[in-house]
Chain A
């Protein structure tokens, strides 16, 4: 029974914790503009995420060390530092976007302007990180995040033409009124949102915090191989809702309220309440993860003591990085930048930096010194190599596409 409980809990957490502001915004924008024609990118992204998250879980469970703890050992001081700087800045941008998402959600709930909510969000994030034990933190936002299943319910109630949606999904080309460049650009953004680097950074360090051993590997694998695909179904539901409800009305998604629109029209006021709970859990949870990922990566590069499970006094430098990152993210949002735009940029820049996160994982997962007999199988290596090529192409294409399409216009 205890096993079953851990299993269900882990699974629900994986589903509820899957979505963040990036998935919500990019899924909805893409659905409203391109229908389901970019759905395949979400599938492609999630399979990649599964392959590399499993490697990362294995490294952590066997060696007891976070994957990024090993980056400097493998890349050396200089390349490691360059990697750290790039990853840190992108994680910071992601954190800012999530803080913006919390503020927008609270604006929808209260009617007060979102800039007023930014400092509140920052303080709440910090208090939770300072006070709440790791596991309780992870399960609470994960469970609340399952409220986003409401997108799947809404889709059902909207009664779409399923055949048409499916046909759209395998068309692999933009709708007639849209160009290839913008379509590809949003494809890159969606890919970036499915494979967001901070998730893996957080996941493997979180495994160390929870003291995983080889015995925990089975549970971790179940969460990876079932939780992540189920979570990505929610991503697809967000996209489909936009495709069914927003695309015919030619709505261009520029605000979080439009993301929620299909749910509200299918389920009314109740739908609004549930969707707001879901948004809040998703963005708040992602803020915690992104802030921790920032702290983990810096501390692991310098070899400082780190972890949420240590009393803050014993990980003072780590705690300072957390604090400064949250402050920096909040200050950035307080300049009045549009949170939706920050989200989009964070996704495309993440896409450009994907190899920085995933190549080291791949290298370490093949290292016998850390993994002994549990290095990658040939199948994992084949899949991993294919994905590394895809990541490289996406990474090279991301910034030129952004400039060429003027960020998707």
Chain B
């Protein structure tokens, strides 16, 4: 559990770099998820990452354009990757996870590794 301090989401959570247990970059905090049981105050339950989560946060024409492109490019699922808030070790200066990176956290990275970069000789292991 987080200690009892004021956490300003816009300042300390959103748009921060997410780093997994091994110290690898696994995307930015593109959005957050709130759960509300209808009675008590809403609680932040997860961080959303993956560029698809970014679309709705960009208003105007740029945001619409982003959403359209993302829908075209991601045929598999349009649900962004969730990181449960319990997995977060600390939020700032970067969001450190106590777990390995969630699956498909950076879907572009995996696809490009498999289909482009990994096929070029000398790409390492």
Contact = CB atoms under 8 A, between A and B. Distances in A.
Interface of A: 63, 65, 69, 72-73, 76-78, 80-82, 130-131, 301-306, 311-314, 316-317, 319-320, 323, 369-370
Contact of B30 (A65, A77, A314): A77
A303 B92 contact: no
Contacts, number: 93
B117 A313 contact: yes
Contacts of A81: 58, 62
A369 B108 CA distance: 31
Nearest to A76: B15
A259 B50 CA distance: 48
Given A77-B57, A78-B62, A302-B28, A313 B113 contact: yes
Contacts of B112: 316-317, 319-320
A314 B24 CA distance: 10
A231 B59 CA distance: 44
B113 A303 contact: no
Given A78-B57, A306-B25, 6 more contacts: A72-B15, A81-B58, A302-B106, A303-B26, A304-B27, A369-B93
B106 A313 contact: no
Interface residues of B, number: 37
Interface string B1-19: 0000000001000111110
A249 B123 CA distance: 53
Given A73-B16, A311-B125, A370-B93, A316 B27 contact: no
A306 B26 CA distance: 11
B117 A69 contact: no
Interface centre among A303, A305, A311 (most CB of B within 10 A): A303
Contact of A305 (B10, B24, B49, B116): B24
A78 B58 contact: yes
Closest A-B pairs by Cβ, 5 of them: A311-B124, A303-B28, A316-B113, A316-B117, A316-B112
Nearest to B30: A77
B54 interface: yes
A267 B30 CA distance: 59
Given A81-B62, A316-B113, A316-B118, A305 B25 contact: yes
